[in-house]
């Protein structure tokens, strides 16, 4: 998996990082803090975030059937994306997140593109799926711009309201 960096000051650098790495763990905590708070319509408590982290383990976002990417904006961890194989040629995108201070910099689209490449090149996927919630309107807009089509529920996700899929080009 190649790194993504356009060389400009303030650019994004996206690379694989173990899900257990401290930078990964901090981004996952920030991700859950954000989505749990949005779900409840208020700031999430530490206990709620801990419960979400325990309920939705990210351990499967590791090789050989998973992959985790960390995006750095101006050299600091600022976003992440995880992948897991659902079936031999179908990957699931999860935990796509950009810290609030780095939003509007193109990080979401870059993380999405890097995750699609990793799904094809690293995991051998030909299809990528994901689920999201109705209140995560920015995510839904990003997926629509990225060519994802809405599909029926494929996973019975407890908190999911929308499901998407995209066919991937085979890796060279």
pLDDT in tens, 127-165: 999 999 999 999 999 999 999 999 999 999 989 999 999
pLDDT bucket at 36, cuts 50 / 70 / 90: very high
- Between CA 140 and CA 59 the distance in angstroms is 25
pLDDT in tens, 50-95: 999 999 999 999 999 999 999 999 999 999 999 999 999 999 999 9
Which residue in 135, 137, 136, 131 sits closest to 152, CA to CA?
131
* CA 83 centroid distance within chain: 7
Which residue in 74, 66, 78, 72 sits closest to 27, CA to CA?
78
What is the enclosing helix (H) or strand (E) of 26? helix 22-40
């Amino acid at each position: 998996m190649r790194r993504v960096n356009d060389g400009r000051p303030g650019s994004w650098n996206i690379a694989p990082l173990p899900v257990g790495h401290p930078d990964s763990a901090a981004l996952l905590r920030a991700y859950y803090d954000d989505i749990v708070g949005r779900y409840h319509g208020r700031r999430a408590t530490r206990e709620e975030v801990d419960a979400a982290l325990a309920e939705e383990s990210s351990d499967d976002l590791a090789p050989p059937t998973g992959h985790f990417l960390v995006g750095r904006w101006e050299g600091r961890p600022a976003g992440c994306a995880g992948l897991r194989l659902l079936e031999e040629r179908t990957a699931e995108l999860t935990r796509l997140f950009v810290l609030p201070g780095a939003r509007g910099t193109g990080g979401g689209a870059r993380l999405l593109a890097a995750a699609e490449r990793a799904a094809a090149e690293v995991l051998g996927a030909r299809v990528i799926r994901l689920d999201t919630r109705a209140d995560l309107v920015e995510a839904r807009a990003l997926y629509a711009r990225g060519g994802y089509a809405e599909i029926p529920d494929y996973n019975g996700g407890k908190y999911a309201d929308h499901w998407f899929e995209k066919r991937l080009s085979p890796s060279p």
